[in-house]
Amino acid sequence: MSIPTVTAARILKGQQNFQTGEEGYLSWETFPHAGLSKTYNTDHQVPDSAGTATAYLGGAKTKKGLIGVDDNTRRGDCASSVGNEIDSILTIARKAGKSVGLITTARITHATPSALYAHVPERDWEADSDIPVAESACKDIALQFLENDDIQVALGGGRKKFTPNTKKDPESKKYGQRKDGRDLIAEWVTAKSQLGKAEYVWNQTRFDEVDPEKVDYLLGLFSDSHMQYDIHPDVAGEPSLAEMTHKAILILQKNPKGFFLLVEGGRIDHAHHEGFAALALTDTIAMDAAVTMAKQMTDDQDTLTIVTADHSHTMTISGYPTRGNPILGIVDAGLAPGSPGLGDDNLPYTTLSYANGPGGVETRLAFEQTGNRPVITNVDTASDTYLQQALVPLKYETHGGDDVGIWADGPMAHLFHSVHEQHYIMHVMAYAACLDKGAPHCKD
């Protein structure tokens, strides 16, 4: 969720409401405090989600690909991770008696959510079948989730990482990916039922039936892998990010000591990687709705709300389009009604483009066939399957290395005020919530 992503989503949201768009705001853009986060990993100038999630959730920068372990760990080396584990803000909050939960539209074993509960030297070790035999002393991420007694609400995708390779998924009909024969979902229900009322749900109907007043533990896995993009329908039905946020808060807020909740619009990242700007923006608007929901259900006198991103992407907004020009459209140069802005090759181009990615592959193929960029005069560039043109051809678009925004409201939100190292975010959360011993604003 780079700064250009936020800007473009803001404009699209306004245009969906029949406005020009530029004058609008996303929910977090009205927060009273803001800053910037430097996202580099200790070994990479442009980061990945594992190292960055470990930073802002664990309070220490680390290498690319590492989850919940510090920089002394070597990627893919199980032995090197022992003794280098980092406690996340979720773990610290739970030890202080707060309720804790996580929500994502990606797999709950994916990089960002797993940084809350797992400690592994390789982010891809989501199921036991993902771990090389030589490194089998390490526990996979899904198993570490099962063994974590702290998490009361977990909603997202990723059923295949929890189910044996002999069991078919109820929706995709594909087999699970666990070779140890264990059904971690069934084991989760059994274990959590000994601690309170526990429910597992996998579709919209079952999710809607959950009574948050009667449930202490809720696990929702709504897809075999990642959940659908917000504007794509799901066969069995999936709750929206805002709906998941609403139900999670209803469950967690029953604790008089308060709660910690992570809400991730994880598929914003995936859409950018695929080169689909429309999907990235509509999922950002879904994130906007989730933040609105959270703010409506909480009080900024006692709840710190932070909106940020783990890293940037390479999408840009450019070309001097006129005010109110469709953000997903072709640049209108304003020279005459409907006249497109043209490149030096005398061909039109869109306001949004990428520095690299799948759009570059299509652009290269067009050059090879015609000597020019693709002609998009009669193309629906607002389609969710339209690949914005890119400079460098790559199968997947890469992350960007530029700073990302931090927007904050609530207690100690003023501590976000300039350019910060990414791991600073976790320490502000701990300080604000009195998890940092000796903070002067906290009561004994």
Give catalytic residue positions: 49
Enter the tokens of residue 383: 């389609």
* CA–CA distance, 276 with 274 (Å, rounded to integer): 6
* CA–CA distance, 44 with 49 (Å, rounded to integer): 12
Q: From the CB of residue 437, how many other CB atoms can be counted at a distance below 10 Å?
A: 7
Rg (CA), the chain: 22
Task: Decide: helix, strand or coil at residue 272.
Answer: helix
* CA–CA distance, 64 with 389 (Å, rounded to integer): 28
Contact status, residue 388 vs residue 360, Cβ threshold 8 Å:
no
Element (H, E) at 271: helix 267-274
* CA–CA distance, 1 with 407 (Å, rounded to integer): 12
Residue 41: name the closest of 115, 113, 110, 106 by CA. Answer: 115
Q: In terms of DSSP H, where are the helices of 330-405?
A: 358-370
Contact status, residue 105 vs residue 241, Cβ threshold 8 Å:
yes
Q: From the CB of residue 206, how many other CB atoms can be counted at a distance below 10 Å?
A: 16
Total number of residues shown for the chain: 444
Query: Cα dihedral sign for 116, 118, 122, 128?
Result: negative
Residue 48: name the closest of 75, 81, 28, 80 by CA. Answer: 75
Amino acid found at 136: S
Q: What share of the chain is helix, strand, coil (3-state, %, to 5)?
A: 30, 20, 50
Contact status, residue 154 vs residue 114, Cβ threshold 8 Å:
no
Amino acid found at 122: E
Q: From the CB of residue 317, how many other CB atoms can be counted at a distance below 10 Å?
A: 17
Task: Decide: helix, strand or coil at residue 280.
Answer: helix
Relative to beta strand 399-400, strand 312-313 is antiparallel
